[in-house]
Amino acid sequence: MLAYLLLLRPKQWTKNLLVFAALLFGGTFREADKAFLALVAFIAMCMASSAVYIVNDLRDLERDRKHPKKKLRPLASGAVSRNSGWAIAAVCLAISLAAVWTVNKTSTAIILAYLLLQVAYNFRLKQVAVADVFCIAVGFVLRAVLGAAAIKVPISGWLLFCTGALALMLGFSKRRNEFLTIAENGTRESLAKYTKPALDALVSIFACGAALCYGIYCLESETAKKYPGLIVTSIFVFYGIARYILIVFSLDEGGEPETLLYKDKHILACVLCFILASVLALSGFQLPLVSS
C-alpha cells in the first residue's frame, strides 16, 4: 500500500496549495461555501497532477532506472506494475474531472488546460531548454488561476507575475542541481543545452523578479490598498527567497524544492509566518504608519 501511495507523489501536492491563494488574498477565507469550493478544486488538482506524474513515470520507466534517485520510484523499482500504474492514473483523472465539474465550467476548463500543457511538456517540450521550465511555471500559474475561478473572485496580475517568477526560480534551480549531478548520464535531454553560468543567471533573474513583483503587489494591488498591513508579509517572502538562493548556490541544492520546505527550518518558519501575517492583515490589522 505504501508503494501505491508513493506512486501518487503526495509530497508534490504542496505545489497545489497555490489553489488557496485567491481564497486567502481575496479575503474570503472566512466564507465556508467558498472555502469548500477551493478545497474541491485543490483535490481535483491533486488528482490531476498525480495522474500526470504516473503517466510521466510510465513513459520514462527505462530512463528513471538509470537515475540515482528516480530508480527508487514505485514503477521504476518494480514495486508497482505497469498495468496497475495505468489503472491508477485513469482513476485519478476520473476523480479530478468529476470533482472539478461540480465546481464550475471555468475551473473544469483550467484543469483541462493544465492536462493539455502536461501532454505538450511530456511528449516534446521537456526536451527543449528554457521551454521545459516555462511549462512548469505556467502550471503553477494555472493553479493560482484555478483557485480564483473556483470561488469566482478576481486575482491580481502582480500576484500571478510573482507566482510565475517564483516557479521559474524554483524550476531553474532544479535544472541547475540536475546539471551538476546527472547531466552526464543523459536522463534529461534538455540539460545538454544549458550551461552553469546561464542557469546561475536565470535563477538570480527570476529570484529578483519574484521579490519585485510581490513588493509591487503589496503596495499597488486592490487588495493591498484595502488592507495596507499586507506589506508586512513581504518581509517573509524576501527572507524566504534569500534563504533559498543561499541554499542553492552554497550547497548546490534545489533538485527537490518541495523537500526544502520541510528540511530547512528557516524556509518552513517563513511560510508559517507568511500565512499568519497574511491572515492578520486580511482580517483588518492596521499598521499605524502605513496608509492605504
d(CA 216, CA 158) in angstroms, rounded, equals 7
pLDDT tens profile 207-228: 999 999 999 999 998 888 888 8
Per-residue pLDDT at 206? 96
Mean pLDDT for the chain?
87
Q: What is the pLDDT of residues 85-120, one digit of tens each?
A: 899 999 999 999 999 999 999 999 999 999 999 999
CA 198 vs. chain centroid, Å, equals 23
Question: How confident is the model over 268-290, as a mean pLDDT?
Answer: 81
Q: Residue 291 — pLDDT band, cuts 50, 70, 90?
A: low
pLDDT at residue 151, as a whole number: 93
For the segment 43-81, what is each residue's pLDDT rounded down to a tens digit?
999 999 999 988 888 887 777 677 667 776 777 777 778
State the pLDDT at residue 51.
93
> What is the average pLDDT across 219-244?
91
Q: Which amino acid is at 234?
A: S
Residue of 172, 181, 49, 67 whose CA lies nearest to 122: 49
